[in-house]
Amino acid sequence: MTLTTRTLDVLAAFTPRHPRLRLADVAVASGLPLTTAHRIVNDLVRWGALERAPDGTLSVGLRLWELASLAPRGPELREAALPFLEDLYTATRENVQLAVREDLESVFVERLTGPDAVDVMTRVGARFPLPSTGVGRVLLAHAPSEVQEAALAGPLRRWTEHTDTDAGRLRALLAEVRRAGVAFSDQQVTEGAASVAAPVRRGRGEVVAAVSVVYSTARTTAAPLVPAVRAAALGISRALGARAAARP
């Protein structure tokens, strides 16, 4: 294992559940001997990737945050999308999500919710397997075919009694998502919650993200939500196209 990989493993010791750690915790979480962890942590602190509080606890440093803010598929996408997501939230008063694909998972890049919205557990940065969520189905439908096959290979995870785990049916569903330009997920992940999702393209080209509304099946159905979700997705796509055109 390279030292670069070890360095990254030290950083990976910090999680939403454990954002502050002592040196000994870092060593345990990263699987490294105390001395090795100590050496790496000191370099990270010196550079600003980690910072040490007076009580000795370590946390992620500002400098890493500044750097990470440059991620095009995170903050940049989020910033371009935010006005449209806010409009979509205002129009629907439900959970609004923006996600991108990374390998066989979706990563939530933005999420707007309110007091009336159905309770679904997605925090920004969270990851979720592709085939069951609305955004996941959009992202998978427009992924390279080898990604689709990999995602549908092997036993699929069942989240509720409604979860569809049949690969053949899911393949047909993905073809329909491509044709219709919209995906549905009806209580596939959470009892009582469903979603409508649409693809966000860079201009009119490749699908780079998906936007969705997650709603309570007790409160509404998919049909009235479709136009607003499509409009938001198209708006974000146009905004991204404008940004791409403005780049040298």
Partner DNA sequence: CGACGAGTTTCCACCAGGTGGAAGGGCGCG
Partner DNA sequence: CGCGCCCTTCCACCTGGTGGAAACTCGTCG
Of DNA, its own copies, none, which one sits near residue 221, judging by CB under 5 to 8 A according to partner kind?
A: none
**Tokens 């509720």, residue located:** 160
Tokens encoding 213: 């509304």
SS3 66: helix
- The label of the residue with tokens 């707007």 reads 112
By beta-carbon proximity to its own copies, the closer residue of 44 and 170 is: 44
Q: In angstroms, what is the minimal distance from the CB of 17 to DNA?
A: 18
CB neighbourhood size of 14 (10 A): 20
Interaction of residue 128 with its own copies, rule CB under 8 A: no
Please provide residue 108's backbone torsions phi and psi, each rounded to the nearest 5 degrees.
-80, 120
- Burial of residue 218, with CB atoms counted within 10 A of its CB: 0-12 exposed, 13-18 middle, 19 or more buried: exposed
Range 10-69, binding DNA (CB under 7 A)? 22-24, 32-36, 38-40, 42, 56
What's the min distance (Å) between Cβ of 111 and its own copies?
12
Residue 230: contacted member of DNA, its own copies, none (CB under 5 to 8 Å, by partner type): none
**Pair type for strands 183-186 and 127-129:** unpaired
* 1-9, 80-88, 89-97, 209-217 -> range binding its own copies (CB under 8 A): 1-9
Q: What is the per-residue binding string for its own copies in 17-56, x denoting contact by CB under 8 A? A: --xx------------------xx--xx-xxxx-x-----
What is the C-alpha to C-alpha distance for residues 196 and 173, in angstroms, rounded to an integer? 14
DSSP state of 155: P
Q: List the helix and strand counts (H, then E) for the chain.
A: 9, 8
CB of 40 to DNA, least distance (A): 7
* Under rule CB under 7 A, residue 2 binds DNA: yes
Site residues, DNA (CB under 7 A): 1-4, 6, 22-24, 32-36, 38-40, 42, 56
